[in-house]
Amino acid sequence: MAELWGNAVFQVAFWAIVKVGIILFVMLTVVSYLIYAERKVCGHIQARTGPNRVGPFGLFQPLADVGKLLFKEEFIPAGANKVVFHIAPMLAVFPAIVTLSIVPFGPPPVFQVTDIHVGVLLFLAMSSLGVYAITLGGWASNNKYALLGGLRSSAQMISYELAMGLSIIPVILEASSMSLNHIVDAQAGPLQLYGMTISFLPNWMLFKPHLMLPFVIFTITMFAETNRAPFDLPEAEGELVAGFHIEYSSMKWALFFLGEYMNMLVISSIAITLYLGGWRGFGPEQWGIVWYTLKLAAFIFFFIWVRWTFPRLRYDQLMNLGWKVLLPAAVVNVVIAGIVVYWRTHS
Amino acid sequence: MIPLTWSLALSAVLFTIGVVGVLVRRNALVIFMSIELMLNAANLAFVSFAQQSKSLDGQIFVFFVMTVAAAEVAVGLAIIVNVFRLRETVFVDEINLLKG
Amino acid sequence: MVPYLFLGFAAMLVATALMVVLHKNPVTSALFLVLAFCSLAGIYLLMHAEFLGMVQIIVYAGAIMVLFLFVIMYLNLKHDIETGVQTAVRRGLGWAMGGLLLLSAGALMARGWSLGPVNAELPAQGAGNAAAIGRVLYSRYLFPFEITSILLLVAMVGAIVIAKGRKSEGGEDE
């Protein structure tokens, strides 16, 4: 046993597994309470209270929801492709969780499972794989409405992936690296702006003028990638009879929605890491996890707020926005960011 | 460091599977997928040689091969969709008349 | 450890590639191809080509195969039904050609071309694979890079024009 512990590779693997276990446990709990938070915030925005029966302030509502979902009957439609029908909900959760392995929750190396040189590319790869869950879920149900909803949703997701990738490039140019740790380190200290130093603002990417528009574009594509309002046409109850998840019931449906909220969490984490300074904030470095949690909570509240404020976009308006507005804006931004970085390094 | 022989053997096997797919299957889409398998076998050979000779030229070429494959898939699938519209079939045995 | 991982990925790659070719349902073939691309990306990661591994998943598994799936679902294809003597003859010839190709590849490899000097370690990946590729791609291979972008533009325009069809058949909406 002792010589096993002495092996460096074994140590790395052991601690990685421990961290993965902790992250999974925490994130799954956070996701189930996210659903509760959404209903509470939604209730207050709509001038009512939200769930408050189950437990104090309705805090045990997620337990009641899970209990209900466990006991519901699972129904597999006739003529559905059984294997794909079962796999599709799992595909909804898996890419989101993989991305969590590179996000720095606090100062590394304790608060991060691993850091890879192409961290941002891993995030883009996993969001590309997330398209499959909805496409296959819609197709495997042997139902016209589900198929249409699934195809619409995947067309929406791949259209907005372009703008998302292009809006990340200015951050990579600014930090000169695709590794998430380097990007967070590039946001340390007070704000450095074109040679001046503004001491009361942190050096977050958000506060640099040539990166403000990419942040706005990234936020808008965040909503489209997670199929959240105002881009939730493929899955809304009133449209296409609830779209791709009509035929899913009980735990499979729960997995789809777990996947959606997990996606929300993960994409907010990436937005925080890229634009809002990650775990960096005032005070000693050890408080990093607290700052991270505060920023994450703010972002999730923003997600919920936008959902219950804006009306839904029609499908052609959605595609119009993605291809004709966001994509050209993101391309122009890459050029501007390139010029700024070049001018800074060569002057 | 992965031995060159292993990865080249894997590339040869993958290429052969692609060739068999093109020759055996009738569905135009599956033939297209087998062509993608062949392209990926070539990519694997490029990357293994790049690893062995320590130069990045192999990886750069893989980059270009991926780009060209993406363009080819887009145009090829558009053609298949058009042919399906005209002939109501994607089986290459039944698309044997030039008259449109 | 790396050789075992390579063998695992290679086994998965060959198995899924065989399933692509053998399975009757085109959608299942496409899904097996996605798995094949993901295992190939794993092999690229083992060969220190991280940028290529990620780009493989983004481009091949995430975009090209989604396009394939769209077309297969749009065309609403059923299982391939293949019967008859002609099919059997064609299939036999196909497998024979494949076997011949594999034999010739094996003969070439057994002859043993000069594998060249083998170094135990790659040079230190200080800046990472992506930075190194970027340095070479935008200096020495700049011209092919620009030509590739024009190629993609031409392909995009061509695909839209071809898929749209003639005016008498109406347009194709997204």
pLDDT band at B77 (very low <50, low <70, confident <90, very high): very high
What phi and psi values does residue B84 have, to the nearest 5 degrees?
Answer: -60, -40
Q: Is the pLDDT of residue C128 over 90?
A: no
Domains of chain B, each with CATH number or no CATH:
4-87 (1.10.287.3510)
Look up residue B85 and give its two tokens. Answer: 């519209």
Average pLDDT in the C143-147 region? 91
Q: Is residue C59 part of a domain?
A: yes
Q: Is the pLDDT of residue C174 over 70?
A: no
Do A301 and A137 meet the contact criterion of CB atoms below 8 Å apart? Answer: no
CA angle C92, C94, C100 (to 5 degrees): 100
pTM equals 0.89
pLDDT band at A240 (very low <50, low <70, confident <90, very high): low
Q: Does ipTM top 0.90? A: yes
- Give residue ranges of A with CB < 8 Å to any C CB: 9, 81, 84, 116-118, 121-122, 124-125, 128-129, 131-132, 135-136, 139, 147, 151, 154-155, 158, 161, 177-179, 319
In angstroms, rounded to a whole number, what is the distance separating the alpha carbons of residues A194 and A248? 53
**Distance in Å, alpha carbon of C34 to nearest chain A alpha carbon:** 10
Average pLDDT in the A112-118 region? 87
List Cβ neighbours of C49 (8 Å cut-off, separation of 6 or more).
B47, B50, B51, B59, B62, C129
CA atoms within 13 A on the CB side of C80: 25
What is the enclosing helix (H) or strand (E) of A18? helix A8-45
In angstroms, rounded to a whole number, what is the distance separating the alpha carbons of residues B21 and B16? 8
Same domain assignment for residues C152 and C76: no
Average pLDDT, chain A: 87
**Distance in Å, alpha carbon of C4 to nearest chain A alpha carbon:** 15
Look up residue A83 and give its two tokens. Answer: 């294997």
Provide, rounded to the nearest whole percent, the portion of chain C with pLDDT above 90.
40
For C112, left (φ over 0), alpha (ψ -120 to 50), or beta?
Answer: left
Interface of C with B in 38-97 (CB under 8 A): 40, 43-44, 46-49, 51-52, 55-56, 59-60, 63-64, 67-68, 71-72, 74-75, 77, 80, 82, 87, 90-91, 93-95, 97
Task: Evaluate the CA torsion angle B26, B29, B31, B33 in order and state its sign.
Answer: negative
Here the CATH number for the domain that contains residue C67 is 1.20.120.1200
From C77, C93, C109, the end of a domain falls on C93
For C60, left (φ over 0), alpha (ψ -120 to 50), or beta?
Answer: alpha
Provide, rounded to the nearest whole percent, the portion of chain A with pLDDT above 70.
97
Give the model confidence (pLDDT) of A154-208 as tens digits: 889 999 999 999 999 999 999 988 999 999 998 888 888 887 888 788 888 888 8
Do C33 and B37 meet the contact criterion of CB atoms below 8 Å apart? Answer: yes
Q: How high is the pLDDT of residue C113?
A: 60
Indicate the number of domains in chain C: 2
Q: Could you say which of C68, C105, C156 has the minimum Cβ distance to residue B33? A: C68
Please list, residue by residue across A262-275, b when 16 or more beta carbons sit within 10 angstroms of its beta carbon and e when fewer do.
bbbbbbbbbbbbbb
**Distance in Å, alpha carbon of C127 to nearest chain A alpha carbon:** 8
In angstroms, rounded to a whole number, what is the distance separating the alpha carbons of residues B37 and B40? 5
Q: Which of A37, A43, A41 is nearest to A62 (CA)?
A: A37
Average pLDDT in the A82-102 region? 89
Q: Could you say which of C105, C129, C162 has the minimum Cβ distance to residue B82? A: C162
Q: Is residue C105 part of a domain?
A: no
**Domain hosting residue C79, numbered range:** 1-93
Interface of B with C in 60-79 (CB under 8 A): 60, 62-64, 66-75, 77-79
Q: Is residue C139 part of a domain?
A: yes
Q: Is residue C14 part of a domain?
A: yes
Q: How high is the pLDDT of residue B76?
A: 93
All residues of chain C having their beta carbon less than 8 Å from the beta carbon of residue B73 are 64, 67-68
Give the model confidence (pLDDT) of C150-169 as tens digits: 999 999 999 989 888 776 54
Q: Is the pLDDT of residue C5 over 80?
A: yes
Q: How high is the pLDDT of residue C85?
A: 64
Q: How high is the pLDDT of residue B100?
A: 58
Average pLDDT in the A72-92 region? 83
Average pLDDT in the A223-248 region? 74
**Is A135 within 8 Å of C54 when comparing Cβ atoms?**
no
In angstroms, rounded to a whole number, what is the distance separating the alpha carbons of residues C36 and C52? 15
Same domain assignment for residues C1 and C87: yes
Give the model confidence (pLDDT) of C37-86 as tens digits: 999 999 999 988 889 999 999 999 999 999 999 898 888 777 766 666 67
**Distance in Å, alpha carbon of B95 to nearest chain C alpha carbon:** 15
Average pLDDT in the B15-30 region? 92
**Is B12 within 8 Å of C18 when comparing Cβ atoms?**
no
Average pLDDT in the C105-134 region? 65
C132 in contact with B, Cβ within 8 Å: yes
Same domain assignment for residues C5 and C85: yes
Q: Is the pLDDT of residue B93 over 60?
A: yes
Q: Is the pLDDT of residue B7 over 70?
A: yes
Same domain assignment for residues C77 and C9: yes
C9 in contact with B, Cβ within 8 Å: no
All residues of chain C having their beta carbon less than 8 Å from the beta carbon of residue A117 are 50, 125, 128-131
Q: Is the pLDDT of residue C122 over 50?
A: no
Asked whether C and B share 3 or more beta-carbon pairs under 8 angstroms, the answer is yes
Give the model confidence (pLDDT) of A141-166 as tens digits: 877 778 888 888 888 999 999 999 99
Q: How high is the pLDDT of residue A245?
A: 72
Using a 10 angstrom Cβ sphere, with 0-12 exposed, 13-18 middle and 19 or more buried, the burial of residue C158 is middle
B92 in contact with C, Cβ within 8 Å: no
pLDDT band at A63 (very low <50, low <70, confident <90, very high): confident
Same domain assignment for residues C1 and C78: yes
Give the model confidence (pLDDT) of A268-281 as tens digits: 999 999 999 888 88
**Distance in Å, alpha carbon of C94 to nearest chain B alpha carbon:** 5
Same domain assignment for residues C18 and C89: yes
In angstroms, rounded to a whole number, what is the distance separating the alpha carbons of residues A153 and A147? 10
Do A251 and A74 meet the contact criterion of CB atoms below 8 Å apart? Answer: yes
Q: How high is the pLDDT of residue A1?
A: 67
Q: Could you say which of C51, C62, C69 has the minimum Cβ distance to residue A118? A: C51
pLDDT band at C112 (very low <50, low <70, confident <90, very high): low
List Cβ neighbours of A246 (8 Å cut-off, separation of 6 or more).
A141, A143, A145, A146, A149
